[in-house]
């Protein structure tokens, strides 16, 4: 069964560069899950390096398309680091379009992508990959350990949801957008709408809890948030 992992770039690269130690741990979990019969599509984000690059280009007068273009190249670089960490388990090249990913997913245990086109994010890419390869389960791995009713970084009493349906998630993503302009919700609104149209069960877990990650892949209870039809 195919599962898509959306791996936040901030887990792959930090201010200190690529976190190879962390990627080795991810490899451990993926290898274990492949042995259980799972196959994976992985979409890797841009993280700190992408944000830094885009900000630098903006100050030089580059437009948003050009900033996205540069950020996408960094997601590809991060995706390459993930492939290297996975040893022989993954198709050895970063895949840059969904049609190719669909073909390659048939014959490989793991296919790895980064970004695709300007104007979207790797959240949306991960859902499109899930649709393309027929995955019905997606695990979003980031620095945030679930979906909250308000920003947990700002509100210490923010409440984490164990479970939401698609429409509740879309509602929260929209509210968050209007309330906190300029700040990112954990999953972008287009990605939220796409999981709803295809009924893709989506698990939001902290990348720092490998136990939660493994449980999410196995479809077991975890400390993050599960979004599905209730
Ligand atoms: P993400 O924002 O998806 O990476 O892509 P991330 O690091 O997982 O996310 P955060 O910031 O930690 O939450 C990084 C940037 O790459 C460009 C966008 O500029 C995006 O902000 N991008 C990514 C695209 O333009 N198109 C894509 O398909 C993917």
**Which tens digit of pLDDT belongs to each residue from 45-66?**
999 999 999 999 999 999 999 9
Ligand 1 proximity of 132 Cβ (cutoff 6 Å): no
Mean pLDDT of the chain: 94
Closest C-alpha to ligand 1, atom 6: 45
**Ligand 1 midpoint to CA 121 (Å):** 4
CA distance 91 to 80: 11
For residues 200 and 127, the answer to whether their CB atoms sit within 8 Å is yes
Ligand 1 proximity of 45 Cβ (cutoff 6 Å): yes
Strand partners, 140: 6, 204
Q: Domains in the chain, start-ordered, CATH in brackets?
A: 14-32+47-185+194-227 (3.40.1160.10)
CA distance 133 to 130: 5
**Which tens digit of pLDDT belongs to each residue from 155-208?**
899 999 999 999 999 999 988 766 544 457 889 999 999 999 999 999 999 999
**Which tens digit of pLDDT belongs to each residue from 88-129?**
999 999 999 999 999 999 999 999 999 999 999 999 999 999
Q: Which is the closest atom of ligand 1 to the Cα of 7?
A: 8
Ligand 1 proximity of 207 Cβ (cutoff 6 Å): no
N- to C-terminal Cα distance for the chain?
Answer: 22
- pLDDT for the residue 184: 75
**Ligand 1 midpoint to CA 207 (Å):** 17
Cα-only R_g, the chain: 17
For residues 3 and 39, the answer to whether their CB atoms sit within 8 Å is yes
């Amino acid at each position: 069964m195919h599962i898509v992992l959306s791996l936040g770039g901030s887990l792959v690269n930090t201010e200190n560069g690529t976190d190879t130690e962390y990627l080795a741990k991810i490899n451990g979990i993926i290898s274990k899950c492949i042995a259980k019969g799972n196959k994976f599509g992985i979409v890797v984000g841009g993280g700190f390096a992408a944000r830094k690059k885009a900000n630098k280009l903006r100050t030089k007068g580059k437009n948003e398309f050009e900033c996205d273009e540069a950020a996408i190249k960094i997601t590809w670089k991060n995706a390459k680091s993930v492939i290297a960490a996975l040893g022989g388990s993954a198709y050895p090249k970063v895949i840059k379009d969904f049609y190719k990913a669909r073909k390659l997913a048939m014959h490989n245990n793991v296919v790895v992508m980064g970004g695709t086109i300007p104007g979207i994010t790797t959240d949306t890419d991960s859902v499109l990959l899930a649709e393309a390869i027929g995955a019905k389960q997606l695990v979003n791995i980031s620095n945030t350990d679930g979906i909250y009713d308000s920003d947990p970084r700002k509100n210490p009493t923010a409440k984490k949801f164990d479970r939401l349906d698609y429409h509740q998630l879309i509602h929260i993503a929209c509210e968050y957008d209007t309330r906190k302009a300029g700040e990112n919700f954990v999953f972008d609104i287009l990605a939220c709408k796409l999981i709803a149209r295809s009924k893709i069960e989506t698990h939001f877990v902290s990348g720092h809890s490998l136990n939660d990650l493994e449980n999410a892949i196995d479809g077991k209870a975890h400390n993050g948030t599960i979004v599905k039809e209730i």
